[in-house]
Amino acid sequence: MTEMIPPAQQSQFLSVLSRDAAEAAFWAALSPAPLGVDEILLDALAGRVLARDITAPVDAPPFDRAGVDGFAVRAADLFDASAAQPVRLRLNPEIIACGTAPALSVAPGTATPIATGGPIPRGADAVVMIEHTDPEDDGIAVGRAVAPGAHIGFAGSDIARGQTLLRKGMVISAREIAMLAAVGLDRAPVWQRPRVAVLSTGDELVQPGQPLRPAGIYDSNGPVIAAAVAEAGCEAVRLGAIPDNSEALRNAIHAAFQAHDAVILSGGTSKGAGDLTTTLIAELGAPGIVAHGVALKPGKPLCLAVCGGKPVVVLPGFPTSAMFTFHDLVAPALRAMAGLPPKGAARVTATVPQRLTSELGRTEFAMVALTNGSDGLVANPVGKGSGAVTAFAQADGFVTVPALAESLAPGTRQDVTLFSASVTPPRLAIIGSHCIGLDAVMGHLADQGISARILATGSQGGLAALRRGDCDIAPIHLLHAESGVYNRPFLLEGMRLIPGWRRLQGIVYRPGDPRFEGRDLDAALAAVLADPDALMVGRNQGSGTRILLDRLLGGKRPTGYWNQPASHNAVAASVAQGRADWGMAIRPVALAQELGFIPVADEHYDFAVWEETRDLDAIALFEEALHTSAELLVKMGFSTA
């Protein structure tokens, strides 16, 4: 028989608090934080929350690779090729497929058949698509010119060795698992998933699937609360419905409390069994109930307690009240315990800063990363090509180019469909040249609670974004050709420069190469420029390294100059793997690849900002993080003097 609650034991709410006061009291007593770290294999990572930053142990791709089926060629051989006057190339006697290491160099006037994903052979700096060629005797006729770098995915162009690949607090999905696998990681550290006991109380409750008895109601709260608990990043453990019996309720609550990290009950919380529930909660430990009665409509009967460091919550019995109060006041604390960020909206409107083109008649989705611009949210395209996996991790959502539109014009206001409802723009948007040293600064910023996003567009792209007001900080390393001064000559009126660090740029080569080993810069350069077999690897136009390299070469264009990857890692990988003999890169990258290094210049890597910016406090914290990171930057091979 059910034990009734005597009227003498009933009481009204202890004290009705405002919504904000109840929330403050709950968080002050609980101080919700992740419980611990587990190392989880890839197969079980989906939905888990990353507990530490993950840095890439290798480049991805690890070598220059073909993006299409076709032929590896020297672009210079095809400068004059056209449909009217095709250029004939002799085929080399090998076919390069995925997993096949090239054995032959591509000499002038020759080409090597290559499959999509195949490694680029020495001497080649482009791939011509097979459909742009015709077989001809022992060779091919090419009816279209190609630019250096065409259809090549350069080593490290997607992920650079030493780059911060994923940051703690990210919810791992298929996109992040792809990134981990792409750099050979089979597991990751994640926050332990809190186990939350979910109980319903009431004699009237019947479990779904069972016959409904007279005066009974189905327990809808239990399943929906369990689902909401799972959405908050926790493991929900449904313990069914407990009758309004003091002994049964006491045993159930104590058992649930001992075996789980949190307990959530739903049922009446103002009178009768509710008074018994709050009495039993007081037995679990200090400080106990921090709010019983909150000025919410619906949701006034909510009871919030913290016992022995664990949250214990009694939600109102009506489903609408229960879910409203759960999502408003309980879910944020559970998300914090699970290591999840606060929850946000699912769709926003943002400005697209650059033209997004599309094939007419085909609906196209462009992944974007959100930043705060001068006129609201900015949707920055983050695609790196079909072989890239980092675009997924950087993107907050996507915009749609309709099938009947050829493009979205710059400045278009467009709906952004978010990948996660928890997405919010970072407080700081950093767009420009990327450096692995910047990851150290970001770590210190994160410790200060400042969210920041880095989008690598190159120095010139960063300055353009800063001029538009699409970012807060533009990392740059641009050498002014006339004055020989770094960065400052490129600032507009109203901008200022935050000093960063120095990156020693130099010539990289394979150890033991007699053209470089034991020689100073002038002697090594003279030796390599005099050797027709010496093959260099250049850098992309618009990069600070390209400007420095052009100044060093003084107008010369050695063989391989037009092979122009967009990162230091790609240059180092090309030299280390024998596709080139020398190039220019920063010293930390050379050390990571165990390459020889001849210093050329102490490059200035600085940060352009507007003197009048929308978040002076965040910029000040960035400058403080720069100072705090000085020792770590030195250990990484940079100079802060």
Which of the given ranges, 170-174, 253-257, 405-409, 430-434, has the highest pLDDT on average?
253-257
Which pLDDT belongs to residue 373? 83
Q: Which CATH class is domain 65-153?
A: mainly beta
Confidence of residue 362 (pLDDT cuts 50, 70, 90): low
Buried b / exposed e along 606-633 (16+ C-beta atoms within 10 A): bbbbbeebeeeebbebbeebbebbbebb
Mean pLDDT of the 363-373 span:
79
7-16, 157-166, 433-442, 462-471: which range is least confident on average?
7-16
Contacts of residue 480, defined as CB under 8 A and 6 or more positions apart, other chains included, come to 486, 488, 489, 490
CA distance 138 to 408: 46
What pLDDT shows up at residue 12? 44
Closest CA to 82 of 144, 130, 146: 144
Q: Picking from 3-17, 164-178, 466-480, 495-509, which range would have the lowest pLDDT averaged per residue?
A: 3-17
Give the architecture-level CATH label for domain 7-34+193-337. Answer: 3-Layer(aba) Sandwich (3.40)
SS3 114: strand
- DSSP label of 316: -
Q: What is the pLDDT of residues 519-528, one digit of tens each?
A: 999 999 999 9
Statement: residue 129 has pLDDT above 50: yes
Q: How high is the pLDDT of residue 388?
A: 55
Asked if residues 212 and 170 have their Cβ atoms less than 8 Å apart, the reply is: no
If you write DSSP's letter for every residue of 375-413 in order, what string do you get?
TEEEEEE----TT-SHHHHH-SEEEEE-TT-SEE-TTEE
pLDDT for 36 equals: 93
Q: Of the given ranges (130-134, 333-337, 548-552), which has the lowest mean pLDDT?
A: 548-552
Mean pLDDT of 331-342: 90
**Whether the predicted pLDDT of 182 surpasses 80:** yes
Beta bridge partners of 399: 366
Are 234 and 275 spatial neighbours (Cβ–Cβ below 8 Å)?
no
pLDDT given at position 357: 76
Min mean pLDDT across 181-185, 233-237, 343-347, 511-515 is at: 343-347
Helix (H, G, I), strand (E, B) or coil at 584: strand
- pLDDT band with cut points at 50, 70 and 90 for residue 6: very low
Q: How many CB atoms lie within 10 A of CB 387?
A: 15
Identity of the amino acid at 541: Q
User: How far is residue 70's CA from residue 458's CA, in Å, rounded to a whole number?
Assistant: 30
Lowest mean pLDDT among 407-416, 565-574, 579-588: 407-416
Q: Is the pLDDT of residue 3 over 50?
A: no
Alpha-carbon span 13 to 270, nearest angstrom: 6
* Gyration radius of the chain over CA positions: 31
Asked whether residue 268 carries a pLDDT value surpassing 60, the answer given is: no
- Encode pLDDT of 444-471 as tens digits: 888 888 888 888 888 888 999 999 888 9
| Average pLDDT in the chain | 87
236: pLDDT confidence band, cut at 50, 70 and 90? very high
C-alpha–C-alpha distance, residues 569 and 556, integer Å: 24
Averaged pLDDT for residues 259-264: 96
Task: Report the alpha-carbon distance of residue 177 to residue 17 in Å, rounded.
Answer: 44
**Quick one: tokens of 356?**
């997004």
pLDDT over threshold 50, residue 286: yes
- Of the two residues 203 and 559, the one the predictor is more confident about is 559
Distance, CA of 129 to CA of 2 (rounded, Å): 80
Name the CATH superfamily housing domain 37-60+158-191.
Answer: Molybdopterin biosynthesis moea protein, domain 2 (3.90.105.10)
Residues in CB range of 231: below 8 A, 6 or more apart:
331
Residue 519, helix vs strand vs coil: coil
Model confidence at 297, pLDDT cuts 50, 70, 90, reads: low
Q: What is the mean pLDDT of residues 303-331?
A: 87
Work out the average pLDDT over 42-48: 92
Residue 538: pLDDT band (50, 70, 90) is very high
486 strand-pairing partners: 479
- The structural domains of the chain, with segments of one domain joined by +, span 7-34+193-337, 37-60+158-191, 65-153, 347-418, 427-641
Q: What is the token pair recorded at 494?
A: 């109203």
Model's pTM, two decimal places? 0.67
Please tell us whether the domain made up of 347-418 is placed in CATH 2.40.340.10: yes
Region 427-641: CATH code: 3.40.190.290
**Length of the chain counted residue by residue:** 641
pLDDT band with cut points at 50, 70 and 90 for residue 535: very high
The more confidently predicted of residues 498 and 402 is: 498
Instruction: Characterize the bridge pairing of strands 536-537 and 582-586.
Output: parallel
For residue 87, what are the β-bridge partners?
A: 142
